[in-house]
């Protein structure tokens, strides 16, 4: 609660009720919701919240580095509160997206690619989730 306020202020985001509600949901979401999913969820607590505000807010958060978007779901962007580098695993059956820690997978050779100057990369894996 208090830390959310601080987190927004730290990034120069004026903390309004709507933004706090969105932040509360999306920053501690372990899932990777789309904007519409955020809207539907947060609307239950704040019924006056408009779709436009959710989109505006999410875009603002991305701009300010609080979230990043991922292009791993068809048809929609998903928002990820895990802004540090990491990889993704997508469950074939459910479409669920999981974060994979950066150190869990190693990539090599990307620095010596002729013709490309790689600034950033990620591994996108697909398969079946199984009990750990």
Nearest to 23 by CA among 50, 1, 47, 46: 1
Show the site string, 33-72: x = touches its own copies by CB under 8 A, - = not.
--------------------------------------xx
Piece in contact with its own copies (CB under 8 A), picked from 21-29, 33-41, 51-59, 120-128: 120-128
Which residue in the block uniquely carries the two structure tokens 């820690």? Answer: 101
Type and span of the H or E element at 54: helix 51-63
Contact between 127 and its own copies (CB under 8 A)? Answer: yes
Rounded distance between C-alpha atoms, residue 64 and residue 22, angstroms: 15
Contact between 5 and its own copies (CB under 8 A)? Answer: no
Q: How far is CA 105 from CA 72, 73, 86, 89, in A?
A: 18, 21, 9, 11
Quote the least distance from Cβ 104 to DNA, whole Å.
27
The DSSP secondary-structure symbol of 97 reads: E
Quote the least distance from Cβ 14 to DNA, whole Å.
4
Binding site for its own copies (CB under 8 A): 71-74, 77, 89, 92, 98, 100, 104-110, 113-132
């Amino acid at each position: 609660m208090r830390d959310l306020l601080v987190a927004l202020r730290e990034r120069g985001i004026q903390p309004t009720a709507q933004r706090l509600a969105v932040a509360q949901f999306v920053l501690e979401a372990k899932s990777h919701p789309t904007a519409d999913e955020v809207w539907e969820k947060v609307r239950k607590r704040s019924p006056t919240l408009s779709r436009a505000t959710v989109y505006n807010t999410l875009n603002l958060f991305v701009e300010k580095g609080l979230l990043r978007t991922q292009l791993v779901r068809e048809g929609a962007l998903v928002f990820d509160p895990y802004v540090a580098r990491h990889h993704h695993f997508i469950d074939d059956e459910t479409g669920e997206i999981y974060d994979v820690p950066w150190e869990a997978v190693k990539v090599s050779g990307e620095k010596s690619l002729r013709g490309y100057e790689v600034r950033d990369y990620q591994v996108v894996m697909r398969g079946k989730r199984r009990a750990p």
